[in-house]
Amino acid sequence: MMNMTSQPRAAWRRLTAAYAALLSALLAVSVGILVIPVAMQIFSRFTAIIPHYIWTEEMARFLFVWTVMLGAMIGVRESTHFEVDVWPRTGPRLSALARLIGRLGVLALALVFIWAGWKFTAFAMNRISELAELPLWLIHVAWPVTGVTWLIFLGEQIHDDIAIMTGRAA
DSSP letter for each residue of 23-64:
HHHHHHHHHHHHHHHHHHHHHHHH-SSSPPPSHHHHHHHHHH
Per-residue pLDDT, 1: 46
Whether 1 is in a domain gets the answer no
Per-residue pLDDT, 83: 60
pLDDT at 10 over 50: yes
Cut 0.75: pTM above it: yes
Q: How many angstroms separate the CA atoms of 166 and 61, rounded?
A: 46
Give how many domains the chain has, as a whole number.
Answer: 1
Instruction: Identify the residue with better confidence: 40 or 117.
Output: 117
pLDDT in tens, 94-108: 888 988 998 999 999
Instruction: Identify the residue with better confidence: 132 or 24.
Output: 24
Is 71 in a helix, a strand, or coil? helix
Phi, psi of 128 (to 5 degrees): -125, 155
Burial class (CB in 10 A: 0-12, 13-18, 19+), 53: middle
Q: Which domain holds residue 31?
A: 6-165
Measured on CA atoms in the order 91, 96, 101, 105, is the torsion positive or negative? positive
Contact (CB, 8 A) for 73 and 153: yes
Whether 170 is in a domain gets the answer no
pLDDT in tens, 75-90: 999 988 656 677 778 8
pLDDT at 168 over 80: yes
Contact (CB, 8 A) for 81 and 75: yes
Average pLDDT over residues 29-36: 95
Share of the chain above pLDDT 70, in %: 92
Instruction: Identify the residue with better confidence: 1 or 144.
Output: 144
Average pLDDT over residues 8-33: 94
Question: Half-sphere exposure of 76 toward its Cβ, with a 13 Å CA cutoff?
Answer: 30
